[in-house]
């Protein structure tokens, strides 16, 4: 069981590894060491549910040590671990097959930003609740007229003494209907230049004047919402940083976002029940141990080789970051490439499954649950290279920041 007094953060790397492994072995419930389906992921928040009692126990035990956010300071609910220790913890968790106890924009995006530029009061109010999974955060970035051209946000936040009066319209807000709070890019100064007049505002989604409308996607699901704001009063103290600092905060947060999307799709990959080669063996057939369709076999191998090289790149990036204290230039390609790989994987799975990839509903009547899932996942993956910065924007960033090509 958890030993709250044990101070892991003081241990040297080898002792830490041993202690972490021992703790994980005795505290991670066996069912939390299995690959997790999409609908079993724990996102936290007041509207969140646990698919099993073990998922709840696992979150509580990890949160008690601060290991939902291993590198955050202990005072804000973190584990107080060094980067190296956090890497070791991640390795040990992967080694044992432990699920991540909690996901969310609070952990991966807002938290790092608040630690960086948040006021003490903001940190104290929000970070511990994020770390424990009590509040689920939405990201209020895109608007109808601000997609790839994100700095074009128009949602207005007008300072009225002790509060901002907010009016506007956010779109592509992931799971806003399941979230409690939203961090928004807002136009605080319409007279200032496009990038200057933006603020970064924290808004309680329970505030009067907010309406959340889910958007139905091509896969039949509603992962994204529109959020409408009409004369919403937000306390002025909820502005993060200075009123004109929103854009630089936004860019910083996008870096965290790309990193976490890339990491999420990696974990997501491990959760998928059907491997490409299993689907192909069953639906295409094989002779002498080789898939019967030579072209599909070549395409699957090309994908798996790229994936192997990408996994090595991920490891190299983590090791470079640990060695140099900051990520190297290769970090700029990770979100782009993770999305491309996921799209390729699902297209190949569809190609391999043949007609079994195209069932819309009717489990047991011709299609297995996993096959129906594949159909939806394939369609959902089309957004991978659009959400969180499109492929084209990612390539622009590589060209500009890494390669130094001129504007």
Catalytic residues: 257
**Contact between 325 and other proteins per CB under 8 A:** no
CB atoms within 10 A of CB 239: 22
Q: How far apart are the first and last CA of the chain?
A: 57
**Contact between 390 and other proteins per CB under 8 A:** no
Tell the smallest beta-carbon distance from residue 163 to other proteins (Å). 43
Q: How far apart are CA 349 and CA 312, in angstroms?
A: 23
**DSSP secondary structure, 167-227, as one string:** EEEEEEEETGGG-SEEEEEEES-TTS-TTTTEEEEEEETTSTTEEEEEE--TTS---EEEE
Candidate list 54, 177, 255, 320; residue touching other proteins; CB under 8 A:
320
Question: CA-based diameter of the chain, in Å?
Answer: 77
Binding range to other proteins, per CB under 8 A, among 117-125, 175-183, 362-370, 394-402: 394-402
Q: Which is nearer to other proteins, 116 or 282 (CB)?
A: 282
Q: Which is nearer to other proteins, 223 or 321 (CB)?
A: 321
Cβ(158)–Cβ(165) under 8 Å? Answer: yes
Size of site (CB under 8 A) for other proteins: 42
**Contact between 392 and other proteins per CB under 8 A:** yes
**Contact between 343 and other proteins per CB under 8 A:** no
Tell the smallest beta-carbon distance from residue 309 to other proteins (Å). 4
**DSSP secondary structure, 51-71, as one string:** SSHHHHHHHHHHHHHTTTSTT
Candidate list 83, 308, 366, 369; residue touching other proteins; CB under 8 A:
308
Site for other proteins in 352-381 (CB under 8 A): none
**Contact between 277 and other proteins per CB under 8 A:** yes
Candidate list 18, 218, 369, 405; residue touching other proteins; CB under 8 A:
405
State both tokens at 179: 């979230």
Tell the smallest beta-carbon distance from residue 341 to other proteins (Å). 11
Binding range to other proteins, per CB under 8 A, among 58-66, 105-113, 297-305, 361-369: 297-305
Tell me the backbone φ, ψ of residue 139, rounded to 5 degrees.
-110, 110
Tell the smallest beta-carbon distance from residue 74 to other proteins (Å). 29
**Contact between 87 and other proteins per CB under 8 A:** no
Q: Which is nearer to other proteins, 215 or 398 (CB)?
A: 398
**Contact between 75 and other proteins per CB under 8 A:** no
Q: Which is nearer to other proteins, 362 or 404 (CB)?
A: 404
**Contact between 13 and other proteins per CB under 8 A:** no
Q: How far apart are CA 132 and CA 130, in angstroms?
A: 5
**Mapped to the 3 state alphabet, what secondary structure does 292-329 carry?**
CCHHHHHHHHHHHHHHHHHHHHHHHHHHHHHHHCCCCH
Cβ(200)–Cβ(110) under 8 Å? Answer: no
**Contact between 310 and other proteins per CB under 8 A:** yes
Our CA angle for 370, 375, 377, nearest 5°, is: 85
Candidate list 120, 121, 287, 290; residue touching other proteins; CB under 8 A:
290
Tell me the backbone φ, ψ of residue 127, rounded to 5 degrees.
-60, -50
Q: Which is nearer to other proteins, 89 or 279 (CB)?
A: 279
Which residue, 148, 150, 121, is CA-closest to 246?
150
Candidate list 297, 343, 376, 382; residue touching other proteins; CB under 8 A:
297
What one-character DSSP code corresponds to residue 100? Answer: P
**Contact between 237 and other proteins per CB under 8 A:** no
Contact set with other proteins (CB under 8 A):
277, 280-281, 286, 289-291, 297-298, 300-302, 304-306, 308-310, 312-313, 315-316, 319-320, 323, 330, 333, 336-337, 392, 394-396, 398-400, 402-407
């Amino acid at each position: 069981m958890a030993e709250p007094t044990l101070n892991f953060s003081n241990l040297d790397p080898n002792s830490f590894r041993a202690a972490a492994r021992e703790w994980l072995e005795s505290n991670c419930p066996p069912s939390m060491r299995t690959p997790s389906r999409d609908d079993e992921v724990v996102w936290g928040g007041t509207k969140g549910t646990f698919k099993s009692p073990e998922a709840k126990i696992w979150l509580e035990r990890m949160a008690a040590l601060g290991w939902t956010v291993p590198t955050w300071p202990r005072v804000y609910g973190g584990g107080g671990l060094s980067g190296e220790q956090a890497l070791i913890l991640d390795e040990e968790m992967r080694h044992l097959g432990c699920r991540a106890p909690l996901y969310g924009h609070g952990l991966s995006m807002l938290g790092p930003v608040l630690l960086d530029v948040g006021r003490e009061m903001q940190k104290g109010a929000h970070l511990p609740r994020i770390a424990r999974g009590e509040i689920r955060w939405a990201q209020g970035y895109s608007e109808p007229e601000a997609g790839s051209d994100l700095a074009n946000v128009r949602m207005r936040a007008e300072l009225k003494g002790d509060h901002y009066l907010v009016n506007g319209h956010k779109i592509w807000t992931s799971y806003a209907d399941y979230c409690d709070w939203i961090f928004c890019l807002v136009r605080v100064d319409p007279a200032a230049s496009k990038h200057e007049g933006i603020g970064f505002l924290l808004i309680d989604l329970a505030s009067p004047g907010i309406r959340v409308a889910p958007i139905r996607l091509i896969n039949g699901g509603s992962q994204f919402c529109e959020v409408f704001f009409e004369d919403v009063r937000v306390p002025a103290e909820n502005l993060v940083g200075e009123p004109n600092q929103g854009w630089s905060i936004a860019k910083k947060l996008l870096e965290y976002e790309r990193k976490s999307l890339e990491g999420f799709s990696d974990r997501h990959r491990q959760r998928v029940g059907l491997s490409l080669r299993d689907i192909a063996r069953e639906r295409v057939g094989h002779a002498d141990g080789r898939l019967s369709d030579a072209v599909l076999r070549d395409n699957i191998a090309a994908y798996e080789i790229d994936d192997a090289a990408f996994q090595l790149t991920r490891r190299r990036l983590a090791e470079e970051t640990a060695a140099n204290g900051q990520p190297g230039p290769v970090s700029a390609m990770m979100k782009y490439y993770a999305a491309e790989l996921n799209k390729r994987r699902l297209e190949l799975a569809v190609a391999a499954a043949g007609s079994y990839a195209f069932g819309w509903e009717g489990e047991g009547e011709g299609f297995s649950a996993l096959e129906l899932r594949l159909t939806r996942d394939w369609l959902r993956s089309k957004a991978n290279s659009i959400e969180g910065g499109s492929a084209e924007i990612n390539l622009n960033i590589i060209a500009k920041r890494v390669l130094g090509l001129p504007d």
